[in-house]
Amino acid sequence: MPADTQSDAKWAFDAYEAVRARLPHTTYPDAAKPVANLADIADEMDVFLLDAFGVLNIGETAISGAPERISDLQKAGKRVIVLSNAASIPKPVLLAKYARLGFDFTPENVLTSREVLLDALADKTLGHIGMMGLEAYGNEELEHLDFDFLGDDPATYEACDSFILMGAGQWNDARQTMLERALIAQPRPVFVGNPDIVAPREDGLSKEPGLFAHRLADATGVVPEFYGKPFAKGFDMALAKVGGIDPARIVMVGDTLHTDILGGQAAGIATALITAHGALKGIDANAAIQASGIVPHYIMPTT
């Protein structure tokens, strides 16, 4: 990855643009309305769907003022739901993290792409699975799956009937090469639980499973099935939690044009882009909007 914030953000933007053909297609408003923060749109919205990285936190650090802002929305009677692509982390661990950072979310108000993926896979025949994930969490929430974590032994890759890409924290180029070679030799289904290409952390943007999934598709011709933003199923599950609310009074808040904003627009709800944190930090957000054609309803520096 590039070393400085500006080149990080430009690299990530270009990487998302390069895979636009695999992302949903939708329409956008003519222009974004600038506001200061979420308080400025609180009267216009009943439901706030929040990305986590870049909106609530950067890595293991809460964004300044975010816990207080979210608390104010909750106290005002707004439904606040985290809709995150954090597929590698079991929900109890994630809830403990949010509590540690000063947020108060109940399990029913946190929906990650891990949950979205597992729901989608329930009716699929997977066989023995090769798992890109974080071994530290073991098989928590995955007890029903027959899987091995993908490591440094090529035989593991050869023995799998399908592959799941959940977390890239332990992934590297050598493992990517082994996976590509295995799929070239024998194409098999690939399911992606985190479509993000990058995620904002304290030391810059990390590489996420979406990056490797798109590389895989380019190298092998095996096009993965993606679950999580910007794809529809996660938004469908989130909106099912708030059935009956006017879509115009539901807003997806995120830091990434190609996941949060594109996905929210495709789901038919309002969208709000955070610019001072996360994927667009260091570049001109308005220029990125113009270049991509992905236009949110609102644009604001911080949560």
> What pLDDT is recorded for position 3?
46
Which residues on neighbouring strands pair with residue 130, listed in sequence order? 148, 163
Whether 109 and 241 share a structural domain: yes
- Assess if residue 219 is contained within a domain: yes
Other CB atoms within a 10 A radius of the CB of residue 241 amount to 15
Of the candidates 196, 205, 168, 195, which has an alpha carbon nearest to the alpha carbon of residue 10? 205
Whether 9 and 106 share a structural domain: yes
DSSP output for 167-201: --TT--HHHHHHHHHHHHHS---EEES---SEEEE
For 122, residues 6+ apart whose C-beta sits below 8 A from its C-beta are: none
Strand-strand pairing, 204-207 and 198-201: antiparallel
- Assess if residue 207 is contained within a domain: yes
Whether 12 and 111 share a structural domain: yes
Residue range(s) defining the domain that contains residue 166:
124-226
> What pLDDT is recorded for position 4?
61
Of the candidates 58, 51, 15, which has an alpha carbon nearest to the alpha carbon of residue 213? 15
Whether 163 and 62 share a structural domain: no
- Assess if residue 95 is contained within a domain: yes
241's tokens: 């939690």
Whether 98 and 152 share a structural domain: no
Other CB atoms within a 10 A radius of the CB of residue 291 amount to 14
- Assess if residue 231 is contained within a domain: no
Whether 72 and 94 share a structural domain: yes
For the chain, how big is the Rg over CA atoms in Å? 19
- Tens of pLDDT, residue by residue over 220-269, are 999 999 999 999 999 999 999 999 999 999 999 999 999 999 999 999 99
Helices (H) and strands (E) in the chain, counts: 10, 16
- Assess if residue 262 is contained within a domain: no
**In the chain, which stretches have pLDDT less than 70?**
1-5
Whether 91 and 151 share a structural domain: no
Whether 132 and 96 share a structural domain: no
Whether 273 and 211 share a structural domain: no
Other CB atoms within a 10 A radius of the CB of residue 8 amount to 20
Whether 12 and 109 share a structural domain: yes
For 4, residues 6+ apart whose C-beta sits below 8 A from its C-beta are: 282
Whether 46 and 188 share a structural domain: no
Whether 202 and 246 share a structural domain: no
300's tokens: 């604001």
- Assess if residue 146 is contained within a domain: yes
- Assess if residue 260 is contained within a domain: no
- Assess if residue 27 is contained within a domain: no
User: Quick check: pTM over 0.75?
Assistant: yes
Q: Counting beta carbons within 10 angstroms of the beta carbon of residue 86, is it exposed (0 to 12), middle (13 to 18) or buried (19 or more)? A: buried
Number of domains comprising the chain: 2
Tell me the CATH number at 221: 3.40.50.1000
- Asked whether 193 and 212 are in contact (CB, 8 A), the reply is no
Strand-strand pairing, 129-132 and 162-165: parallel
